[in-house]
Amino acid sequence: MAAHNDPDADPDPDVGAREALRLIGADPPNWVPELPGVDHNVVIVGGGQSGCAFAWALRRAGIGEVSVIDMAPDEARAGVWLNAARMNVLRTPKTLPGPELGVPGLSFQAWYEARHGADAYARIIRIPRQDWAEYLHWYREFLAIPVRYGTRLSRIEPAGGLFRLHMESRQGSAVETARKVILANGVAGNGGPYIPPELTEHLPRHLYAHTADDIDFASLRGKRIAVVGGAASAFDAAGVALEAGVRAVHLFARRATLAATPISRVRGYPGAYDNYHDLPDTMRWHQAIRYRRAGSTAPTDAIERVMRFDNFHLHLGTPWPVTGMDADEIVAEMGGETLRFDFAIAGTGYFVDPQARSELADFAGEILLWRDRFTPPPDETDAYLGAHPYLGAGQEYLEKAPGAAPFLRDIHVHNPAGFVSGGWPIGDVPSMKRGIPTVVGRISRDLFLADLATHQRRLTADVPPDFTEELYARVTSPMR
């Protein structure tokens, strides 16, 4: 397709996407029976890339009464791509299937080529972050996916086969009921940002931030910055700080060398990817341990981004030292040397603990965790991995004690807490091709079987004939 800025280009870049929707046909009507006291068949928590893709996939499955909520006040502040994500380009290959869910005309490639041309797409190695954010905005608008921004889920209350969802919004508090919940709520969805105690116990809160925070980098201009962590988010934050004109950035990584081996790449082929949940627990745990021990790798371009600056300093084999304060300065003692900083940024990832989430508080202790289900060999013990929920085949919570919390199967997890169970950081682009159809298929099955009596009546109902014998009477030979 011609480039959008070409005077001979089609002035409507969405013509291909509209044709793709025409070819797959109209959305099927909602087949889920209305039940008294039910506001929603499914509530999706999180209106980012996964939440919107779920909404469309459920629509295509004929499941209606679906609501998407997001605690961000508006679209610009929802998700990570215009906020906590600070990379210049995505970390994943541009060819990965994404929220188009098998419809090529809705893919990033189709969207990008419709606006910039096929040659422009061929030239990009990985997708620029701003372009990805723009594509996701288009996706939501083009498919008319409503998201209720400024709505926070504060509590999931199991109640007689349903969930009473306690919501907080601009309009105040409200309770809505749902049969199913999908947690597409990002990296902190089953825990929260991890900040080392060396920061939290020694520094006032205004002098440090986590990479998940909304950091005002412009205000750091001319200041000395410490960044803790050696993975991608730490390097991305360091890069933005340097580009904002800070005086210096010192990055502290606890490993003697930067993690450079992308262990997860070996399981990216379809056989392993599509059937990962059916692997024995021993194999899934070992894959998670391999990843943990190899470390989370920062992309080459993220490292090169900071190396362009002479005022960037990398400290390897150096966990963040015990800190203190001297007037308004952060003081770090390291190897007999005293370093002083004006601000610290923790690029130290996230912890997993369902009990830390207020919306899960009613039943967090009932959720089956990997440490409850699997005892690893002594040389593979890992408390962090053990705290991850042990998810079912439909990415649903399972109950720790059989029969104690059967409602947990109606909460589906599409956030990185499913890493040990699913083998990928669930919620990222690589997890969409498998995860979204899997969850939607399970929801469809569960809702259908839950209303089986209604469907049995529908399936055995009288069907009026399309025609009578009069249609063919004149050509019928009499029986002999």
Same-domain status, 120 and 95: yes
**Roughly how many angstroms between the first and final C-alpha of the chain, as a whole number?**
66
> What is the average pLDDT across 178-197?
94
Residue 174 lies in a domain: yes
* pLDDT at 304 > cutoff 50: yes
Q: How confident is the model at residue 3 (pLDDT cuts 50, 70, 90)?
A: very low
> What's the domain range around 312?
195-259+296-348
Amino acid at 83: N
156 shares its domain with 220: no
Whether the pLDDT of residue 7 is over 80: the answer is no
Between CA 91 and CA 99 the distance in angstroms is: 17
- Please check whether residues 213 and 313 belong to one and the same domain: yes
Strand arrangement, sheet containing 208-210: 208-210, 343-346, 224-228, 248-252, 312-315
**What's the mean pLDDT when you consider all of the chain?**
93
Does pLDDT of 77 surpass 90? no
pLDDT at 127 over 80: yes
Answer yes or no: do 122 and 239 share one domain: no
Residue 9, CB-side half-sphere exposure with 13 Å CA sphere: 19
CA–CA dist 149, 152 (Å, integer) = 8
Residues 336 and 208 in one domain: yes
Per-residue pLDDT, averaged over 439-462, amounts to 97
27 Cβ contact list (under 8 Å, min separation 6): 59, 60, 62
What pLDDT shows up at residue 337?
85
Q: Measured between alpha carbons, how far is 193 from 174 in angstroms, rounded to an integer?
A: 28
Report whether pLDDT(62) > 90.
Answer: yes
Q: Assign 132 to helix, strand or coil.
A: helix
The verdict on 152 and 224 lying in the same domain is: no
Residues 45, 182 within the same domain: yes
Query: What pLDDT band is residue 478 in, cutting at 50, 70 and 90?
Result: confident
- Reported as a single tens digit per residue, the pLDDT across 274-300 is 899 999 999 999 999 999 999 999 999
Residue 64 sits in the same domain as residue 177: yes
Read off the pLDDT band of 210 (50, 70, 90). Answer: very high
183, β-bridge pairs: 45, 413
Distance of CA 331 to the CA centre of its chain: 37
Domain co-membership, 214 together with 119: no
| DSSP classification of residue 9 | S
Based on the fold, state whether residues 249 and 330 are members of the same structural domain. yes
Q: Are residues 124 and 161 in the same domain?
A: yes
Task: Supply the pLDDT for residue 10.
Answer: 58
Whether 400 maps to a domain, the answer reads no
Between 91 and 31, the higher pLDDT residue: 31
Q: Is the pLDDT reported for residue 345 higher than 60?
A: yes
Q: Do the domain assignments include residue 37?
A: yes
Q: Which H or E element spans position 225? A: strand 224-228
Does residue 480 have a pLDDT over 80?
no
**What are the DSSP calls for 277-298, one per residue?**
GGS-HHHHHHHHHHHHHH-PPP
- Locus of tokens 């931030």: 209
In a domain, 406, yes or no: no
38 falls within a domain = yes
Amino acid at 231: A
Is the pLDDT assigned to residue 1 strictly greater than 60? no
**pLDDT band, very low/low/confident/very high, at 323 (cuts 50, 70, 90):** confident
Give percent of the chain above pLDDT 90.
84
DSSP per residue, 23-71: HH-SPPPP-SPP-TT-SEEEEEE--SHHHHHHHHHHHHTT---EEEEES
CA 320 to CA 331: how far, in whole Å? 11
In this structure, is residue 396 part of a structural domain? Answer: no
Is 129 within a domain? yes
35 plus 170 within the same structural domain:
yes
Residue 123 is predicted with a pLDDT of 97
**Is 6 a residue whose pLDDT tops 60?**
no
The count of structural domains within the chain is 2
Any domain includes 5:
no
Label residue 78 by pLDDT band (50, 70, 90).
confident
Of 133, 176, 182, the closest CA to residue 151 belongs to 176
- We report the CATH number of the domain holding residue 91 as 3.50.50.60
Q: How far apart are CA 19 and CA 16, in angstroms?
A: 5
Angle 472-476-479 from CA coordinates, rounded to 5°: 145
Q: Find tokens 């480039």 and name the residue.
A: 3
Closest CA relative to residue 385, chosen from 273, 267, 285: 285
Question: DSSP letter at 252?
Answer: E
Whether pLDDT at 128 is above 80: yes
As a whole number of angstroms, the distance between CA 184 and CA 196 comes to 26
